[in-house]
A and B are shown apart, each in its own frame.
Chain A
Amino acid sequence: GAGVSQTPSNKVTEKGKYVELRCDPISGHTALYWYRQSLGQGPEFLIYFQGTGAADDSGLPNDRFFAVRPEGSVSTLKIQRTERGDSAVYLCASSVGPGTEAFFGQGTRLTVV
């Protein structure tokens, strides 16, 4: 596609529910990143994929968070047993390779009530 596409753009869920956030990177980009941005803060790194594998998941806050990229293109960020503190904008970015500039999607605003 022309740019990084994220769906849904907004998601409201009840505390304790499971959610999935989807990212469709720019075609041909092998590197894919997930970031989380809370109000008034810069984006914080969650996980990095190179191809199909999670090369660095050191930013995932706990084991309720998991992400996959089974075919090396679309990625899904999964959050189990959501908490109100998970409310944030979840941003996905992709780049041609790990050393090149990353392009961000529009993000998914997650609100846990």
Chain B
Amino acid sequence: EDKVVQSPLSLVVHEGDTVTLNCSYEVTNFRSLLWYKQEKKAPTFLFMLTSSGIEKKSGRLSSILDKKELFSILNITATQTGDSAIYLCAVKDSGAGSYQLTFGKGTKLSVIP
């Protein structure tokens, strides 16, 4: 059974701080790892990672995958109050043919002024 564990479960930082969110996984037939930001109800796509060691970057957010050690990190630099959200990590398993996503419980990030 596929498994995704995120840490920490919650985090409170001040504006301007840099944060690192962790995601470790176990998956039978790894295809990709995805990060989402969830505010209110809809998860918003951030990154999809398929290859080890290649950093994906978008503004102040970046992410990298280590397929040997089975983990990924999401970095946010110079945090802003608008970064407050739940960050979800998910892995895609291609073994069943459905490419379903298995999600972690998320990291709740709170950025205070």
Contacts and interface: CB of A to CB of B under 8 A. Distances in A.
Q: Do A and B come from one complex?
A: yes
Interface of A: 31, 33, 35, 40-45, 48, 55-56, 58-59, 89, 91, 98-107, 109
Contact of B96 (A40, A58, A107): A58
Contact of A101 (B34, B88, B97): B34
B31 A99 contact: yes
A40 B105 contact: yes
A42 B48 CA distance: 17
Nearest to A100: B48
Contact of B105 (A41, A99, A107): A41
Given A58-B96, A98-B94, A107-B42, 8 more contacts: A42-B106, A43-B101, A99-B92, A99-B94, A100-B48, A102-B45, A102-B101, A109-B41
29 contacts: A33-B100, A42-B4, A42-B88, A42-B103, A42-B104, A42-B105, A42-B106, A43-B90, A43-B101, A45-B100, A45-B101, A48-B98, A48-B100, A56-B97, A59-B100, A89-B41, A91-B41, A98-B98, A101-B45, A101-B48, A102-B34, A102-B101, A104-B36, A104-B44, A105-B42, A106-B40, A106-B41, A107-B41, A107-B42
Contacts, number: 68
Q: Which of B42, B44, B105 has the most CB of A within 10 A?
A: B42
A109 B98 CA distance: 25
Interface residues on B, range: 20 to 34
B16 interface: no
Contacts of B32: 99
B88 A91 contact: no
A43 B41 contact: no
Given A40-B105, A43-B88, A99-B31, A104 B98 contact: no
Given A41-B105, A42-B4, A56 B100 contact: yes
A45 B102 contact: yes
Interface string B32-63: 10101000111111001000000000000000
